Amino acid sequence: MSLYRPFIDDPKDIVRFEGQRFVVLRATGAVPDVHCHVRSLIKEQFADGDVSYPAQAHVTLIGFPRDAQLESARDLVARWAQSVAPLRLEV
């Protein structure tokens, strides 16, 4: 079993998104390694800038408002997932 890795780790983004719910797809295969490499290059180039970077390669499908209950969001996503074919994303 692997440890959870957050999609965001920037303290400003964590505060900004606090209490919100998002449905995200985690990237697999070679994408996480490429994301990490590109992220490091961009961070190096913009080292003096106030720029935020996603911690993990992912695609955000939907965001819910701050007052959305976690169980309601999970139930909605579970029902939706049963009604669609598996998703395939190409990068």
pLDDT tier at 88 (50, 70, 90 boundaries)?
Answer: confident
Distance CA 8, CA 88 (A): 23
Per-residue pLDDT at 2: 67
Report H helices in 1-91.
11-17, 31-45, 70-83
Q: What is the mean pLDDT of the chain?
A: 89
pLDDT at 83 over 90: yes
- Output DSSP code: residue 59: E
Q: What is the value of pTM for the model shown?
A: 0.74
Distance CA 13, CA 1 (A): 27
Over residues 60-70, mean pLDDT: 90
